[in-house]
Amino acid sequence: MLDPKKRRQQVNGPMVHRDIRTETTYTPTETVDRTHTDALGNGDHTPDHAQPTPSTRSQIHHWGDVQGHGEQDAVTQEETSVFKEPFSIRRVRKSKGNKLTAMLQVRNERGRYLEEVLHDLSEFVDEIVIVDDASTDGTPDICKAYPKVVRLEVLEKPLFAEEWRLRNTLWQAAAGTRPDWLLSVDADELYSIEAKKAIRTLINQEYADWFAFRFYDMWGGRTHYREDDLWCLHKRHTASLVRYMPGYPYFYPQQNHHVPRLPLSCTVLPGISTELKVQHLGWAGSLEDRVRKYLRYKRIDPSGEWGNLAHYESILDPEPRLLPWKEGQ
């Protein structure tokens, strides 16, 4: 094995990426010494021979390039999940036999998409962990009907108004099942056929610790998605699949709403942005359904503290720009 202090990595691709761990900018077409930026000081986190699989059409880079986050402020003990088990990247990385666990937070999902999502997940994940945010419509009963739901925690009081606490509760519940990889899924998201076929290849490798996908906001049905200046989620990548590392410190930002689905402390780890697709069905329902969601956003965030007021108002656009959905690449 090469001496980590001498190890150098060739990073390929046309983009210029920002490494959030050193706050330096580098060009991936150059050969750069990455030893000083390796996660937790480990210089052996990316084998020299490792390359992304062609089917992902992707590049190795760092989450900050995708999510747009810079260095994070210091966090309190309350928002940090630190496990006592000693951390070792070498020990947790393995190229076969990885267990994939999906994790969902749900609330009053009866009559929407939850049953379809759970059925779909059951076809390609090993286990499912769910935190129910004090539903009043029997949503937990739906969850119990699926054998792959190995843990269901039902909260007595909702945490929706403090979403970072809800995200942390879900993460803790999922971590308690000893997963190898965690897939963060909302109760209205469906992974494409190509994504489901590729996911075992994605997780059974030793060079990347997270994967990002392109999420499409389906609008008024499942045949079209919305695309305009305010609705362009699919034009960037969203990380939703991450390797779980016991002993690694995980934390979420203390935001009441619009909290990232994975802990921000994952951002220092190497990952890959793929061109694999995910359908977001949250806006695929009726006009009445979209109006209800609009009113909810205006109620919980009237001043736009956590989101974009123009984005909220655009929900009611009578003639949004819609493009046809295509399953393949």
- pLDDT reported for residue 258: 84
- pLDDT reported for residue 87: 52
Angle of CA points 174, 175, 177, to nearest 5°:
75
- pLDDT reported for residue 59: 47
Average pLDDT over residues 233-254: 93
- State how far the Cα of 185 lies from the Cα of 239, in Å rounded to an integer: 11
Mean pLDDT over each residue of the chain, to the nearest integer? 77
- State how far the Cα of 166 lies from the Cα of 169, in Å rounded to an integer: 5
CB-neighbour burial class of residue 2 (10 A; exposed 0-12, middle 13-18, buried 19+): exposed
Other Cβ atoms closer than 10 A to 214: 19
Q: Can you spell out the DSSP letters for 197-260?
A: HHHHHHHS-SS-SEEEEEEEEB-SSSSEEE-SSS--GGGS-EEEEEE--TT--EE----SSS--
| pLDDT tens for each residue of 107-155 | 999 999 999 999 999 999 999 999 999 999 999 999 999 999 999 999 9
Task: Give the percent of the chain with pLDDT over 90.
Answer: 62
| pLDDT tens for each residue of 170-216 | 999 999 999 999 999 999 999 999 999 999 999 999 999 999 999 99
Architecture category of domain 55-70+82-249+256-324 in CATH: Alpha-Beta Complex (3.90)
* pTM of structure: 0.74
- State how far the Cα of 23 lies from the Cα of 20, in Å rounded to an integer: 5
Average pLDDT over residues 277-294: 93
Going by the DSSP 8-state scheme, the letter that residue 207 receives in this structure is S
* Domain ranges for the chain: 55-70+82-249+256-324
- State how far the Cα of 188 lies from the Cα of 196, in Å rounded to an integer: 16
Helix, coil or strand: residue 130: strand
- State how far the Cα of 144 lies from the Cα of 141, in Å rounded to an integer: 5
